[in-house]
């Protein structure tokens, strides 16, 4: 029984020292990277298509002449 407890304690200590928390700088960089990816996706999926539709609509309105249907 004592052997099992000693082995469990040793394994637990090894795991605790092996899994160090990431540094604050790497966590910050990771979070900034994720935010940058989300901003790019937001731009590509929402803003860019709306601008394209607006420009197409504006070009169509500029090309209309009096009496066009």
What is the average pLDDT score of the chain?
85
What's the predicted TM-score (pTM) here? 0.55
Per-residue pLDDT band at 1 (split at 50, 70, 90): low
Cα separation, 4 vs 19, in Å, equals 23
Closest CA to 19 of 31, 11, 8: 11
* pLDDT tens by residue, 33-60: 999 999 999 999 999 999 999 999 999 9
């Amino acid at each position: 029984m004592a052997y099992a407890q000693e082995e469990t304690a040793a394994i637990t200590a090894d795991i605790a020292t092996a899994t160090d928390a990431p540094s604050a700088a790497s966590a910050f960089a990771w979070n900034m990277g994720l935010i940058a990816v989300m901003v790019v996706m937001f731009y590509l999926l929402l803003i860019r298509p709306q601008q394209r539709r607006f420009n197409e609509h504006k070009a169509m309105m500029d090309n209309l002449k009096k009496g066009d249907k």
